Every structure is written in structure tokens, then in C-alpha cells.
Chain A
Amino acid sequence: MNSVWARLTQEQCRQLHNASLEILERTGVRLFNDEALALVREAGAKVTDGNRVRFPARLVDQALSTAPKSVTLHDRMGRPVMPLEGANTFFGPGSDCLNIIDHRTGERRRPVLQDVVEATRVCDALKEMSFVMSMFLPADVPQDIADRYQFQAMLHNTIKPIVFVTYETAGCVDAIAMAEAVAGGADALRERPFVACYINVTTGLLHNADALEKLLFLAGAGLPALYIPVVSGGTTGPVTMAGGLALSNAGVLVGLVISQLKREGAPVVIPGFGGDALDLRTMVDPYCGPDPRGMAQALAHFYQLPMFSLGGASESKLVDQQASIEAALDMLINALCGGHIMHDCGYLESGLTGSLTQLAICNEVVSWIRHACQPVEISAETLALDVIDQVGPDGQFLKLPHTRRHMRERWYPILFDRDNYNGWLAKGGGRTLAERAAEQVSQILASHQCEPLGPAVAEAVRRIVLRAEAQLGREPLAPASGGSYA
């Protein structure tokens, strides 16, 4: 894209920033981790009541001056594919849905590991999905270490960058160990990171032990951390958007300070969403309400920091009209606002259900958005004045080399129907968008396979999963080889 639509003015961003600074100095936050407490105390923060921390503004200024303005995620082959900066936008799925709507049957059921495998393969094949998350929480693996299985499945089934979530710090450590095995060591992974950990923080004012541990671990290793405090307006924060965002942003700044104290220049990705509120009628956490759109992105651009944003979710229970409309509007506005990593394509039921059919529809919408937002070339070749003169008033352009040279630059749908009525009936019997999307998913699953992991790497990854199993004191359940993931 050429530029970014800013929902907030620079002055409003300064106001929000100052508000967050005031929250940090006046109200303070609680940190549930001793190392983090020691680091901030040493740096000059005021610690009272054991773990209540008030930060002077200079600590925040210092952190903002050393945090990298750009982070580039690589693919599994070590190629830089996602430079998180400026107006660059990248879409992908969300993570850990508790339900799946099976694209084959339409049934809503508990997902299993094979669903993670399939979702990953579909993301790997869909052109506009730039990264992968584990769309589903598999019910058929030991739940305490499901995150290891998810990560292993993703490593086997995509070469695209992976944004991962783990329950506890041990899961994060194991994921990084697996990623290092794939990248060829810790230095290689740091130089060309192809994974990034998504850390949920309890609220802007409560920083839980696991979140801080993961942040410190990743900062220490020089690996990208997505530090995302969650504030729900009306319950864990003010119901007003400005207050909610000021509060969550205070928590974001805490994460920045701690990561930079741990290791100056450690890559941190901040949220490109915030200011949300629960639906106070149903107590559902809506994923794509209109009100806060663009605020957090504007703030992240104000800081010039890479961000983890939203795009493509719906509150609908089905792949229906609401799902299409919400996903499309959400992706379009978040793209216009310049979100960098935009997750949650394929989400239904406010993040509780995932659908590969919906994911394929989102992919189509993203391709539309890309064409609607891409810069326009004005040149002698595209103005085509010589061609116009050659054809004149009496000719036509169908047979010109110029036409054939450029006609494929335009957007052509894969799923959206543009046939005439009889053609639509003839090609597949007049199917709906969802039916066509489900068929695309089936075709991908029948044909697409990414570059496999080498056998030695697959074995190293498998050993890490087995080790986690052993620590649980259970029989190893990992397959004898990576085969069942292929």
C-alpha cells in the first residue's frame, strides 16, 4: 500500500501515550516475576507492596529508543518474507479454536491434531495467507503439552512463518528448541527468525508470571515476542475506547521496558488492536466490532513499532452472510490502517470456532484488498497513447499485443462468481460461495504438500516432543516418525 489511513491524529496519539505514562507513574502495575522485578528496580522503578511497580517516564523513553523499529520474519527456508514495518500488511489465521466446522460435512465438532495438520497445509497453499498459527486446539493429544504437538505439526506442514502460542514457559522453550533444530542453531534462528511467540498478558496492570517468563526468555535469546495485554472494556478496563487503549498500552510499554532491560535491541511486536469491550448484553468478547478499529494501529505507527493486528474474524456461528461481511470489513479496515501481522482469518463464533472454508473465503477477500490498495503505475506503457492512436475510433483492442501483455495484471477471482447465470449453473450446478470454498479446501488437501523437513531435523523435533511427554510421566504418544504429519 502507498500509505496508511490514520484513525487518530498525531496529537491524539501523544495524548494516549501521555495517559499511559501517567498510569505507569501514578497507578503502577503488578509484576509476578522476580527477575522482572529485579530488572526494573535496578533501573529505577519504584517497587512497593512486594510487586507493585511504578515506572518513571524516562524508562519508557529509553525502551522506545532501543526497541527495533522493524522486525523481519523469515520462512522456514531462511528467506525474508514478512518485513514488519511501514504500510506492509500480512494476513494469516488465528489460533487455538475449541471447535471446528468440518468443511466436508458442515458438522461442528471438537478438533483433533489432524485438523491442525490440515489447517496448516491449507494456509501453506493459500497465496494470501502469509503466516501460520495453529488454528485449532487438538483434543486427541495430552492436553498439558498439546502446544508441542501443534508446533511439530506446523513445522512439518508449512514453510511459512509461524506465530505460536504456548500454555507455559516450558512450552515456549521447547518450541524455540524445535525451531532452532530446524533453523540450524540459536544464532541462525536469531538472524533469520521464522517463528514468533504470541504472549497474552492478563491485563495492562497485571503481568502474569508466564507472560513475563516468556518475554524474558525470548528477549534473552534475541527472538521476537508479541507482548499483548488484554483489556476488556467494562470489566478489566474502562468501557471507553480511549481509557481502554491507554490502559492496555501502559501494559505494552511495561513489556517494552522489561524486554529492553533484559537485552537492548530485543525485538518486540506490540498489539495493533485495543480499546475493545465485552458485549455487555451477552458477555461475549466480540472480535470485530467497529468501534475501536484503527486506534491501536495508529498508536503503533506513532511509535513506529511492528504490530500484531487483527483481521478476518466473525462473531457468526456459521459460514454465512454475516461471516463474509464481518471478515471482509474487518480485513479491509485493518489493512487500510496498516496492521502488520493480521491474524484471525477463518475465525467464527468470536474465536471459539474455526473453519477452513471461511479461511479460503478470507484468502479471496485479501487478494481483492491487495488489488484495491496497490499503487497504480502511470507510465507510457500503461497510458498506452500510441496504442489508442493506432486503434482509433473505428478499431478495437481485443487483438492487441498490449492487451494480452497486461490483461492478467488485473484481479481475477478464484472463488467469487462472475459468470453469467447459465454459466454459473453449468459450472458446478449453481453453488454458493461457501460450497465453492469448501471444494477449494478439498482440492488443496488432495494435492498440496510443502517441502518436508529433513529426516534428521524431523527426528530432533520429535525428540523434543518425546522429552515433554516423558516429563509428564506418560507413555510417548508421538508417532514413530514424522510420517503421520506429512
Chain B
Amino acid sequence: MHEEQFNAMRQSIVDGAPEHASELASKALELGIAPLEAINKGFVPGLTHIGEQFRLGEVFLPDLVMAGEAMKAAVAVLEPEMQKRGTQREILGKVVLGTVKGDIHEIGKTLVSTLLSASGFQVFDLGVDVPVERFAEKAREVQADIVGVSALLTTTMQGQKSVVEALDRHGLRPKVKVIVGGAPVTRDWAEKIGADGYGQDAMAAVAIARSLLHK
């Protein structure tokens, strides 16, 4: 039932077409498809597919970003209806994200944010040049499961260590997990500063966030 609709939804994500995805989401509601079903049977398989293709080198980063955007557009249409029905998409976890103090690079961090939210995480994106304490405050406020700290420069990656220390000071660890990323960041560095996870790209960040929360 509704196979054709689900295929079109899947394709709109693969094509990275937010407007089309949002139209299809509205149409799904008109057709009486449950919003959760539209997400799980229609849109999510598209994102899964494009993620695999990206890992294989078949699609490029902008394709992945736009797939994420299309996913967000579809969810934005479906979410109010889910609330009305008292259902909700399973939230895999709450993630506070930001680029560390002194660093204004945002593309990588935003990409991680897009893919995490497209994958079902609730993301609180603090933006760039974020003071160390702000990470801890926000994590406490929203009862975050994960804090993600981005740094592009070797000079600013020290700030990732400071964020870990701040979370310790606030007594949020080890309940709150820390993941770090950015061009100069390595697994060794992550271990050295006591972070819980490191991903070399945005897809890896999603996989690590899932595994830290056993999802």
C-alpha cells in the first residue's frame, strides 16, 4: 500500500530536493498515511541509501547535505501532525553542538547537525565561537546525552579539551558523552583529552552518536 508514494519520498531525499520532499510529506497526510510511517518507510530509506553511497564515494558531500535538508523539510511538515496525534518520532538522543571558542568555521559542524537531526537526534546547535562554559550550561539545561565540539585549527582544538574539563567540573560526566571532530582531530587526540568519540566525517559522527547511546 502506498508503495509508489514511499518510493517518491525516498527518491526526493536521494535527489536532495527539499521542496519536493515537503510536497510529498503534505500529500502523504492528505492520503491518510500516518506521519511516522511516511518518515520510516518513505524518507528514512532515502537517507540511509545516500549515506551508503557517500561512504562508497559514489555521491558527493553537497548531495549528502541536500539529502539532509530534504529530510528536515519533510519532517518539518510531518511533525505538527505527529504532535496532534500524540505520536512522535523516536528521538535517539539530545545533542548539543558547537564550534569551539576562537574558531568560526561552521560548515563541518553544521553538516553534522543536519545529519544528526535527519537521523532522528534532537540537536541544539550553538553556532560558532562558542565559549567553553556555554557548552556545559546548555547541556545541563536540555539534559543532553551528547556534546559535540568542532575545531578546524590546531590552535583551537585545545578548546575541545577545555570543554571536556568544564563538563567534568559541572559534574555532568560521564553521563554526558563528548564527541569531537574537525580536520586536525584524530582518534589519538580524542582519547588523550578524554572524549568519548571521534568521527572522521559527518556520517561517522552519526554512527558514533548512535553507538554511544546504544541506538
Contact = CB atoms under 8 A, between A and B. Distances in A.
A422 B181 CA distance: 14
B61 to A, nearest CB: 7
Interface string A395-407: 0101110011001
B111 A423 contact: no
A379 interface: no
Given A399-B62, A403-B62, A404-B62, A422 B200 contact: yes
Interface of chain A, main secondary structure: helix
Nearest to B56: A427
Given A404-B16, A407-B60, A408-B60, A399 B66 contact: yes
A398 B200 contact: no
Instruction: Give the interface centre of B60, B69, B187 by most chain A CB atoms within 10 Å.
Output: B60
Interface of B: 16, 60-63, 65-66, 69, 106-107, 111, 187, 200
B111 A398 contact: yes
24 contacts: A396-B106, A396-B107, A398-B61, A398-B62, A398-B65, A398-B107, A398-B111, A399-B62, A399-B65, A399-B66, A399-B69, A400-B62, A403-B62, A404-B16, A404-B60, A404-B62, A404-B63, A404-B66, A407-B60, A407-B62, A408-B60, A420-B200, A422-B187, A423-B200
Instruction: Give the interface centre of A396, A399, A400 by most chain B CB atoms within 10 Å.
Output: A399
A420 B106 CA distance: 20
Contacts of B187: 422
A406 to B, nearest CB: 10
Interface string A192-215: 000000000000000000000000
Instruction: Give the interface centre of A398, A404, A420, A422 by most chain B CB atoms within 10 Å.
Output: A398
A420 B200 CA distance: 8
Interface string A99-135: 0000000000000000000000000000000000000
A195 B111 CA distance: 53
Nearest to B64: A398
A407 B62 CA distance: 9
A407 B59 CA distance: 11
A407 B16 CA distance: 15
Contacts of B16: 404
A409 to B, nearest CB: 12
Interface in A421-437: 422-423
Interface in A406-453: 407-408, 420, 422-423
B63 to A, nearest CB: 7
Contacts of B62: 398-400, 403-404, 407
Contacts of B107: 396, 398
Contacts of A423: 200
Interface in A379-403: 396, 398-400, 403
Given A399-B65, A404-B16, 14 more contacts: A396-B106, A398-B61, A398-B62, A398-B107, A399-B62, A399-B69, A404-B60, A404-B63, A407-B60, A407-B62, A408-B60, A420-B200, A422-B187, A422-B200
A408 B62 CA distance: 11
A396 B114 CA distance: 15
Contacts of A399: 62, 65-66, 69
Contacts of A396: 106-107
Contacts of A403: 62
Contacts of B111: 398
